[in-house]
């Protein structure tokens, strides 16, 4: 058994038996008065006991008036309480030491049976490497559903198509042979596809020699036979496709070469069958004469081109309905600058006719510009270099911009 200790950290004193008061001691009434005094008012009542009757129940906290008796531990107590706690802590330390010594052996056995399974194996090494680099575990990016990716791609494609075709450029089909042999086309056949630059004329006006695509003025289309109107749904789809750029334009477009601009006077012909502008013959190496047709042009009287308009003609001079004929000829055949869509730059289809479209100025004398196929070299180099640049850009992005950690 362990020694009995007081139940409180305060000094616990047993109440010793009192002898009858003597003459020198205060009387019972005096003692009671002292107890009832303010300094003793809060003290608990003291029960009178006899020697040998003191027990733990009789032990109550009292003021430090008496010395505590010595309470010896029973003889059958083998060892003090501290010995038990000391032994227990020592045994615990020995057990912890034994377990710590077993850890390397367990890890070694695990590595032998399951290489790279996590006991200082591959995963632990990877985790340690990540901790050294200060990084966190990076989960692979979550893939979006296929239908969502398709919708996203379609939306992006439509937006880019709209922006490019309305503000940058557009591909047009050549429907007739009026521009042979510069541009090939024929009714019902697959004509050339040309890329039309819509940016250049935002900064300057067309000049003589430019091959332009324009919307037909009213004087050019007033006698056209219009197709019967379709139902509302078909018209809506056609308009939407034309607006976005995935369907042909809903207006009547033409492609011709600029011969004279506003303020100039044009006429045909001199004694060498050449067109004159301001009395000077034009140098037109691009003119095409169909087989079996004599090298002669339709004659017309001098016409002064109004300001803000263009006089246009086809390269297939004897098979072109242009400013000489449209609207009855004369000033009714000119094209307002506001109707010009853009400048024809390149033949993009078919591949066998891939080249640039020449813009030789007929009023400037002999042609000093490069051949048409040479003018197409820059765009060819641009397309050929686009893929390597795109690939290098993606590689640099992966290197310089690390993936976001989860």
Catalytic amino acids? Answer: 178, 256
CA-based angle 239:244:246, to the nearest 5? 85
3-state secondary structure string across the chain: CCCCCCCCCCCEECCCCCCCCCCCCCCHHHHHHHHCCCCCCCCCCCCCCCCCCCCCCCCEECCCCCCCCCCCCCCCCCCCHHHHHHHHHHHHHHHHHHHHHHHHHHHHHHHHHCCCCCCCCHHHHHHHHHHHHCCCCCCCCCCCCHHHHHHHHHHHHHHHHHHHHHHCEEEEECCCCCCCCCCCCCCCCCCCEEEEECCHHHCCCCCCCCEEEEECCHHHHCCCCCCCCCCHHHHHHHHHHHHHCCCCCCCCEEEEEEEEECCCEEEECCCCCCEEECCEECCCCCCECCCCCCCCCCCEEEEECCCCEEEEECCECCCCCCCCCHHHCHHHHCEEHHHEEEEEEEEEECHHHCEECCCCCHHHCCCCCCCHHHHCHHHHHHHHHHHHHHHHHHHHHHHHCCCCCC
Compute the CA torsion angle 87, 92, 95, 96 (nearest 10 deg): -140
Q: Work out the angle between the directed axes of helices 146-167 and 232-244 (0-180°, nearest 10).
A: 70
Residues 6+ apart with CB under 8 A from 293: 318
Angle 188-226-341 from CA coordinates, rounded to 5°: 75
Task: State CA 242 to chain mean position distance.
Answer: 29
Residue 335 contacts residue 214 (beta carbons within 8 Å): yes
Dihedral sign computed on CA atoms, order 314, 316, 317, 320: negative
């Amino acid at each position: 058994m362990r020694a009995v200790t007081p139940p409180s950290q305060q000094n616990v004193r047993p109440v010793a038996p009192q002898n009858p008061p003597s003459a020198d001691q205060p009387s019972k009434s005096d003692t009671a008065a002292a107890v009832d005094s303010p300094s003793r008012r809060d003290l608990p009542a003291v029960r009178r006991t006899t020697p040998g009757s003191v027990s733990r129940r009789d032990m109550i906290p009292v003021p430090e008036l008496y010395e505590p008796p010595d309470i010896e531990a029973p003889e059958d107590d083998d060892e003090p309480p501290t010995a038990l706690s000391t032994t227990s802590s020592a045994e615990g330390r020995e057990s912890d030491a034994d377990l710590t010594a077993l850890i390397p052996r367990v890890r070694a056995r695990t590595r032998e049976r399951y290489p790279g399974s996590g006991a200082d194996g591959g995963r632990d090494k990877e985790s340690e490497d990540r901790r050294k680099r200060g990084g966190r575990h990076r989960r692979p990016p979550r893939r979006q559903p296929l239908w969502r990716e398709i919708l996203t791609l379609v939306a992006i494609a439509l937006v880019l198509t709209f922006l490019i075709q309305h503000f940058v450029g557009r591909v047009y089909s050549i429907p007739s042979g009026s521009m042979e042999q510069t541009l090939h086309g024929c009714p019902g056949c697959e004509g050339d596809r040309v890329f039309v630059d819509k940016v250049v004329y935002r900064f300057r006006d067309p000049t003589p020699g430019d091959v332009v695509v324009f919307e037909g003025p009213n004087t050019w289309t007033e006698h056209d036979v219009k197709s019967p109107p379709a139902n509302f749904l078909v018209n809506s789809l056609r308009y939407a496709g034309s607006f976005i750029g995935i369907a042909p334009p809903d207006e009547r477009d033409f492609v011709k070469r600029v011969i004279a601009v506003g303020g100039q006077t044009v006429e045909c012909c001199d004694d060498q069958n050449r067109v004159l502008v301001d009395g000077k013959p034009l140098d037109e190496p691009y003119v095409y004469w169909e087989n079996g047709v004599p090298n002669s042009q339709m004659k017309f009287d001098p016409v002064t081109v109004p300001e803000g308009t263009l006089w246009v003609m086809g390269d297939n001079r004897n098979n072109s309905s242009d400013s000489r004929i449209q609207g009855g000829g004369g000033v009714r055949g000119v094209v307002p600058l506001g109707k010009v869509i853009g400048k024809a730059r390149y033949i993009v289809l078919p591949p066998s006719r891939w080249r640039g479209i020449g813009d030789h100025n007929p009023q400037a004398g002999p042609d000093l510009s490069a051949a048409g196929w040479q003018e197409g070299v820059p765009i060819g180099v641009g397309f050929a270099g686009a893929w390597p640049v795109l690939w290098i850009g993606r590689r640099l992005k992966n290197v310089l911009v690390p993936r976001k950690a989860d």
